[in-house]
Structure 1
Amino acid sequence: MPSADSPLIFHQWSKIYGPVMHLKVLGRSMIILDTYQAAVDFLDKRGLIYSDRPKFTLYELLGWQPSLTFLQYGKQFNIQRQMHQTYLSHHKVEDFKAMQTQEARTLVRNLLESTPERYEKFLSRFATGIITQIVAGHRITSDADPYLHMSNMIYEAMSKTGPPGSSPLDFFPLCVPHRAVEDDIYHGMLIPKGSLVFANIKFSCTASFASLH
């Protein structure tokens, strides 16, 4: 298991072993999806099988167990998902467009008036600002905003606990993985029940408009 630059190393492995790789790590099966099509085939077309989450011992100790992101499939998961779907339905998200447009304009202005060294800070503030307005009704207007500080602290804590091998309490693949709830066959490959499945985000996403233009 690579200890650093996992997305790049997984991508290099995929050139040898193919876009879907099965690793055995600490006695657990881990499936790596290295292309967009593989990610769609598993997480969209086979979503019913791969909608579960593994148990995150360390995240539970950090107080993240109630979060929908890390809940295992079950009654509590369904309750929270229904709440999210009600508030973030196709109809409701239309209400957020004006706010998102305003934040996008602020981001562009900040980028144009700043230097490349500060780009990452402005992009982080842009993403956090949209989330805090939707969730808490609070708009971030300065770098000293307590919500922004709290978000940065959470990101730092999560980045230190999430990567593979960073904690002896559990095994953490990059990003939030899915878990197979039953055996599955994909192009002749057996995906055992309980396998961790996650997309190699850097290489399984399609190119964005910004990268193409």
Structure 2
Amino acid sequence: MLSIANVAWLNLLCLTGVGVYLVKRVVIRKNPAPYPPGPRGWPLIGNVLDMPRIKPWLTFTEWGQKYGDITHIEVLGRHIIVLNSTKTALEMMDSKSLLYSDRPILPMAGELVGWKDSLPFLPYGDLFRQHRRNFHRVIGSRAAVDVYNVVEEVETHRFLKRVLAEPDQLQEHIRHTAGAVILRISHGYEVKENNDPFIDLADRVVTSASQTTAPGAFMVDILPFLAKVPTWFPGAGFKRLAREWHEILEEMVSAPHKFVKDQMADGTAPMSFTSNLLEGCDLSAEEEHTVKWSAVSLYGGGSDTTVSAIYSFFLAMTLFPDVKKKAQAEIDAVVGPDQVHRWNVVIPTGFPHCVAKDDIHDGYYIPKGSLIIPNAWFMLNDPRTYVDPSQFNPERFLAKDGKDPEMEPRMACFGFGRRICPGLHLADASIWISIMMSLAVFDISKVVENGVEITPEVEALPLGTISHPKPFKCSITPRSATALGLIQQDANY
């Protein structure tokens, strides 16, 4: 039996499909070139039923293997282009970055929840460039990020102590530490050891952000007019959810910013991203609004992604003991965190770009307004690029036996063109410090239960833009008495 809500949605979908079809029949014009190949759509509704909701990068990979590096689908008149090649992504979003640097309007996340003022959602223009300047001023180079190394080392040391005390709570410790580092950098706020209100609030915010931006997760992103339906309408539960997420997002934007301003007024504010942008400036309300949202963008872009990367590292060390032993024998600057970025891609489908005007690429017609989705997961797991991509092998990035290194993961994992992640230097530093300090003092291995060694499953959680490994068990113990002593030292400035 179909519920009343489902019947209502089906009726709306059919009416919308008819409307789109009739409009297209009236204004139809001959395209200057064919669309890229892709799965055949249905009359009226196009490829609505083909759009994946769970682990979309796997479906996109299947399309790439069947149709080539550029795949096209149409959903109720909206063109979506999926890229399954780093080369193609660079040609389009780097070489023609002015054309491919816009953002689509995402009704659920951007308009209803309220993320539209944050950097990842801004259309390409003056405000976008102002946000980028804010980031570049404070964390735009390795030298600028080095200022925060002490903060990261102190918080990572505290992380080691928490893991020593409760190794079975690894994921929670990683999340707490990632939040502590970012809040210290973004707002100069030092979190409490337990039940910190800003950490709890921020966790809820970034979790909701990942859920709202997942491709195809909400029908309103496919049928934008649904944003206007009343909350009592059958199937409009997404609006009540959006209102709840909007409230916690607004609190996350305002409360830490007020904390910084109060401390600055008292003369006690430590250096932070926000205080740096506010210090000595007579800002207009609009400029201060930009500072607030720049800081939240820093947190939103840097916390949950770091959690995913570091948790993936512990999974890899559990599954690949030989790699762990080599790294512990030679913890140096050669290997770096690159393999973690590649092995479990944090944002598998990237963040969609939008085409500013019609384009012809590689003989295919890319109409203005098309969504461009880079399937970063396949780009970084493409067997044409990486030998045995499922293996965690950091040595693949070193020249060896006359063979060139395999492709640098940063070519795809931090985005493309003018939309490349502005916090990439901070992300690299955070992950590097966490990996090196953890490997220096801990042995990480499989758990043995009742005499049986438990091998964790390499599996991503099914929902959300950010890919997290499924929870897994591992054994984490100090490597030696010396390592134990290092962990137990005071973790303060």
Q: Structure 2 length normalisation: TM-score?
A: 0.38
Amino acid at match of 1:70: F
- Which residues in structure 2 correspond to 1:121-160 (within 5 Å)? 121-160=172-211
1:77 paired to 2:154? no
Query: Hey, what's the Cα distance between the residues in 1 that align with 2:91 and 2:166?
Result: 41
Residue 6 of structure 1 aligns with which residue? 56
Partner of 2:75: 25
Larger Rg: 2
- In terms of mean alpha carbon deviation, does 62-71 or 163-172 score higher? 163-172
Secondary structure of 1:99 counterpart: helix
Tell which deviates more after alignment, 93-102 or 103-112.
103-112
1:211 aligns with 2:413: no
Q: Give me the whole-angstrom Cα distance separating, in 1, the residues matched to 2:217 and 2:89.
A: 25
- Rate the CA distance shift 1:75–1:162 in 2: closer, same or farther, 3 A: same
Which residue is 2:405 aligned to?
A: none
> Letter of the aligned partner of 1:199 in structure 2?
P
Unaligned regions of 5+ residues in structure 1, if any? Answer: none
1:109 deviates by 5.6
Tell me which residue corresponds to 1:181: 356
Amino acid corresponding to residue 150 of structure 2 in structure 1:
A
- Could you tell me whether the CA contact under 8 Å between 1:20 and 1:34 is conserved in 2? yes
Structure 2's unaligned 5+ residue stretches are: 1-50, 225-348, 395-493
Q: Which amino acid aligns with 1:92?
A: A
Larger % of helix: which? 2
Say if 1:36 and 1:203, in contact at 8 Å, map to a contact too.
no
Q: For residues 99-138 of structure 1, what are the structure 2 equivalents within 5 Å?
A: 99-107=151-159, 110=162, 114-115=166-167, 118-138=169-189
Cα deviation per residue 1:6-34 (whole Å; 9 max; x = unaligned)?
11121122111122222212211112122
SS of aligned partner of 2:372? strand
Residue from 48, 53, 76 that aligns with 2:103: 53
Shift of 1:141: 4.9
* Aligned positions, number: 210
- Superposed CA offset, 1:178-211 (max 9, x none): 1111223333222222111122232234789x93
Q: Distance in 2 between matches of 1:143 and 1:203?
A: 39
Aligned in 2, Cα 1:11/1:101: closer, same or farther, shift over 3 Å?
Answer: farther
Which digits, 9 at most, give the CA deviation of each residue in 1:118-140, with x for residues without a partner?
A: 33333333432332122111234
Q: Separation in 1 of the partners of 2:128 and 2:135? A: 11
Cα deviation for residue 100 of structure 1 reads 2.8
RMSD of aligned alpha carbons: 2.9
Q: Which whole-Å CA distance do the structure 1 matches of 2:209 and 2:175 have between them?
A: 15
1:40 corresponds to 2:90: yes
For 2:205, the aligned partner's letter is I
Q: Which residue of structure 2 lines up, in the alignment, with residue 166 of structure 1?
A: 217
2:144 is the alignment partner of 1:92? yes
Distance 1:34 1:108 in 2: 39
Counterpart CA distance in 2 for 1:30 and 1:69 is 19
Given that 2:351 and 2:374 are in contact with CA atoms closer than 8 Å, whether structure 1 keeps it comes out as no
Q: Hey, what's the Cα distance between the residues in 1 that align with 2:201 and 2:127?
A: 26
CA distance in structure 1 between the aligned counterparts of 2:191 and 2:89, rounded to whole angstroms: 34
Bigger relative CO (Cα 8 Å, ≥ 6 apart) = 1
The DSSP-based 3-state class of the residue aligned with 2:207 is: helix
TM-score, length of structure 1 as denominator length: 0.81
